[in-house]
Amino acid sequence: MKPKLLVTREVFDETLDYLAQHCEVESNQQDIPLDPGTLAQRLRDKDGVACCLTDRIDDQLLASCPQLKVVANIAVGYNNIDLAACTARGVMATNTPEVLTDTTADLAFALMLATARRLTEAEAYIRAGQWQGWHLKQMLGVDVHHATLGIIGMGRIGRVIARRAQGFEMRVIYHDPVRLAADIEQRLKATYASKDELLAQADFVILQMPYMPQTHHLIGAAELKKMKPSAILINSTRGGIVDDAALIRALKDGTIRAAGLDTFEGEPQLNPGFLELKNVVLAPHIGSSTEATRRAMAMTAAKNAVAALTGGTPPNVLNPEAKSNK
């Protein structure tokens, strides 16, 4: 008998075709988000789940599905999963690193350019029929080229952003709990800085670390005050890393110049303060959303799930020790 797997949100046909070769698949191709009760009920008899960052996988849920062997997240971030609870209950958890690195770095760069050059504000101005003609001081932005870029979180995506910054001849400084080896710093032309030094010097601050209790409100009122009034903040990693209420105040009173945001506290609900501001570029958590990358993410998760359900070790297992706890 094939193992039973639930796919919690709509995926691509090739993902389902692949999964169906190995599993009895129940999928949610209508893409209706499953509330926690429905998710628990549909997972009760399943051996595996391919899920998204919108699904909360916590101990209570795991307790109600004793057959579960694998939680395959279709995302690189996994703060929606209680990893310790998975390990304790012998459930392997996996994510989708690598396949989305370049695409997500592109979006961070796009937000930086769009915010610096006021692109969404400019488009809204045209759509509102306000454009009367060219003038010298129209929509003055700031330069990205030759500016100082501060990257907080120098993992896979942070490093690729640093590489892109070389093309814009930016000066790159970075902060991370773990300093890079000297040869990597050299290759990336990135200089290590303390968090405070980075905040004080950067024209653009890009956040690129995972969300966890230690990174909750890593950027709040005090940190925003340390930034230059001309600085721009980019958050395309996770909501909750920035204190959104403090950011709105800082954008309103000129503590910093602008922000480009793809992720929000409590998304998809948004602090309504953002909608009143012109100096913010907003995107609905689309960092990895190109067709090729989303297809690759779904297939990576499918392969992780199948590996676990056929007795193997998934390539992207986050808690290999879980296997011995089942």
Catalytic residues, by residue number, are 238, 267, 285
Contact status, residue 116 vs residue 139, Cβ threshold 8 Å: no
**Is 75 near ligand GLV (CB under 6 A)?**
yes
**Is 107 near ligand GLV (CB under 6 A)?**
no
* Rounded-to-10 torsion of CA 152, 158, 161, 166: 80
State how far the Cα of 224 lies from the Cα of 267, in Å rounded to an integer. Answer: 21
Question: Which of 48/287 has CB closer to ligand GLV?
Answer: 287
Question: Which of 86/173 has CB closer to ligand GLV?
Answer: 86
Contact mark string toward ligand GLV, 25..54, x via CB under 6 A: ----------------------------x-
**Is 100 near ligand GLV (CB under 6 A)?**
yes
**Is 153 near ligand GLV (CB under 6 A)?**
no
Question: Which of 53/318 has CB closer to ligand GLV?
Answer: 53
State how far the Cα of 190 lies from the Cα of 150, in Å rounded to an integer. Answer: 9
Q: Report, in Å, the least distance between residue 93 CB and ligand GLV.
A: 13
Contact status, residue 22 vs residue 310, Cβ threshold 8 Å: yes
Query: How many CB atoms are closer than 10 A to CB 229?
Result: 11
Which range binds ligand GLV by CB under 6 A, 19-27, 73-81, 172-180, 197-205? 73-81
In a 10 Å sphere around its CB, with 0-12 CB exposed, 13-18 middle and 19+ buried, how is residue 81 labelled?
A: buried
Q: Report, in Å, the least distance between residue 111 CB and ligand GLV.
A: 14
Contact status, residue 308 vs residue 302, Cβ threshold 8 Å: no
Residue ranges in contact with ligand GLV by CB under 6 A: 53, 75-77, 100, 287-288
